[in-house]
Amino acid sequence: MGSGTDLGRVRGLGSSKEGAHHWWHQRLTAAGNLILMLWFFASLALLPAHDYPTMAGWLASPLAAVPMILLVASVFYHFRMGLQVLIEDYLDGAGRITAILLLSFFTIGSAAIAIFSILKIAFTGALV
């Protein structure tokens, strides 16, 4: 990083047009999470039991499967940004980049398993 001209001092710090992107998406997904997580908590409380037939029967319905997929998308995107900030606050250099890479793998990997599981139940129904 240079210390002379104005341009030299800001070069390498990233685009000036994307600063609010992270902040704004954190808020957008927070609003999504608020609705979807309250629906999820209410759904669990309203179910008469939490055994396999009840849970699989519930998730086989599109009225549960679609909001659940939306929940995974919104919540996982949100928590990836939150954990990114945690990493940026406490790690530097190569450790920071490695941690953020692992975070992305964790988020996308776990989201894929979650969405696949929801779709499997939604498309094939409860196993007897």
Give alpha helix (H) positions in the chain.
6-10, 19-46, 52-60, 62-90, 93-124
> Does 54 engage in binding with other proteins (CB under 8 A)?
no
Closest distance to other proteins from the beta carbon of 80 (Å): 8
The single residue among 10, 97, 101, 102 that binds other proteins, judged by CB under 8 A, is 97
What is the distance between the alpha carbons of residues 78 and 65, in angstroms, rounded to a whole number?
Answer: 20
Binding residues for other proteins, rule CB under 8 A, total 41
Angle at 42 between CA 119 and CA 127, to 5 degrees: 35
Query: 23 Cβ partners below 8 Å, 6+ apart?
Result: none
Contact 29, 75 (CB under 8 A): yes
Q: Which is nearer to other proteins, 66 or 86 (CB)?
A: 86
Closest distance to other proteins from the beta carbon of 45 (Å): 5
Q: Which residues sit at the interface with other proteins, rule CB under 8 A? A: 1, 12-13, 27, 30, 33-34, 37-38, 41, 44-45, 48, 50-53, 55-56, 59, 76, 79-80, 82-83, 86, 92-94, 96-97, 106, 110, 113-114, 116-118, 120-121, 127
